[in-house]
């Protein structure tokens, strides 16, 4: 997967000549690269950090083609998905109407703190690896993305996602809005647009997906969501393999009743701040 998209990647650590050479490496070397970037505590050196539009399209095609051979079959059919979409539209529109003023107040506080854009967008992947821009209230410094290479070795997750207890890029306000999950509220706009659903697997970053096994890609069989099973069971405290298992379990058993149950459990988890980093 890594070689397939390298030609469209802009990695600040590599020259164009290095990238071309990497693209020509064998699958055996690619597998070795994957294993070397992983440890029992998680990835500490992502081989690819930045993706242009061509790379994202190639990644999308690679994920989509891989999922054609998946043995996991999403539960329910078109009627469920149509009802789910209708509920997402109504729920997100109502929530945005109620929360627009609180979101505006937090955004103003973020702007006053460092005079930077209070909103942050980041490319994530949803169903079949389709890329989209996911929105958040900014909890980090303005140059956080460009500084990721400095902090990636601090990864405390046991899998492919990145989490650090002492990430120096997080602002003072950022610590608060992360703990309370306020930073996630702008994603209601993603739900309204149709990029995401209220309930579904959390959308991963491209740099994580290029390291996925085919089994881990199963979590991209359905549209990504604001919350999922593991978001209600500890979020950052849940091991990555358990996170994937939870997403696949949701995909196999999803229903309107389960979605409503997870919504209420999400509210409870946010109030308790369990697993919030």
Q: What is the pLDDT of residues 121-165, one digit of tens each?
A: 999 999 999 999 999 999 998 888 878 877 777 666 656 666 776
Q: d(Cα 37, Cα 35) in Å, to the nearest integer?
A: 6
> What's the pLDDT score for residue 231?
86
Q: d(Cα 43, Cα 203) in Å, to the nearest integer?
A: 18
| Residue 227 bridge partners (DSSP) | 199
Q: d(Cα 235, Cα 145) in Å, to the nearest integer?
A: 22
Q: d(Cα 72, Cα 215) in Å, to the nearest integer?
A: 9
Phi, psi of 198 (to 5 degrees): -70, -40
Global pTM exceeds 0.75:
yes
Per-residue model confidence as pLDDT tens digits over 48-88: 678 889 999 999 999 999 999 999 999 999 999 999 999 99
> What's the pLDDT score for residue 30?
43
Q: Which domain holds residue 133?
A: 2-272
- How many folded domains does the chain comprise? 1
Per-residue model confidence as pLDDT tens digits over 257-276: 999 999 999 998 888 876 55
Looking at the domain assignment, is residue 94 inside a domain?
yes
Of 45 and 57, the one with more pLDDT: 57
Looking at the domain assignment, is residue 29 inside a domain?
yes
Structure tokens at 143: 């140059």
Per-residue model confidence as pLDDT tens digits over 3-23: 555 555 544 444 434 433 443
Of 222 and 146, the one with more pLDDT: 222
Looking at the domain assignment, is residue 277 inside a domain?
no
């Amino acid at each position: 997967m890594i070689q397939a998209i390298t030609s469209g990647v802009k990695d600040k650590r590599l020259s164009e000549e290095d990238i071309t050479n990497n693209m020509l490496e064998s699958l055996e070397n690619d597998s070795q690269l994957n294993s070397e970037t992983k440890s029992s505590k998680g990835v500490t050196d992502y081989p690819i950090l930045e993706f242009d539009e061509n790379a994202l399209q190639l990644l999308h095609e690679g994920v989509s083609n891989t999922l054609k051979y998946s043995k996991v079959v999403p539960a329910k059919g078109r009627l469920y998905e149509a009802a789910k979409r209708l509920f997402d539209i109504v729920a997100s529109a109502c929530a945005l109407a109620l929360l627009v003023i609180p979101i505006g107040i937090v955004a103003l506080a973020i702007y006053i703190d460092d005079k930077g854009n209070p909103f942050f967008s980041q490319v994530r992947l949803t169903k079949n690896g389709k890329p989209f821009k996911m929105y958040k209230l900014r909890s980090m410094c303005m140059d956080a993305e460009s500084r990721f290479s400095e902090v990636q070795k601090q990864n405390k997750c046991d899998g492919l996602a990145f989490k650090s207890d002492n990430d120096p890029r997080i602002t003072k306000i950022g610590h608060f809005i992360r703990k309370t999950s306020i930073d996630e509220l702008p994603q209601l706009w993603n739900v309204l647009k149709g990029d995401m659903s209220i309930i579904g697997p959390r959308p991963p970053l491209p740099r994580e997906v290029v390291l996925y096994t085919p089994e881990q890609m199963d979590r991209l069989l359905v549209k990504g969501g604001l919350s999922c099973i593991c978001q209600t069971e500890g979020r950052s405290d849940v091991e990555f393999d358990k996170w994937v298992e939870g997403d696949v379990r949701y995909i196999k058993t999803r229903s309107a009743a389960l979605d409503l149950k997870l919504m209420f459990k999400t509210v409870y988890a946010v109030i308790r701040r369990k697993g919030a980093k």
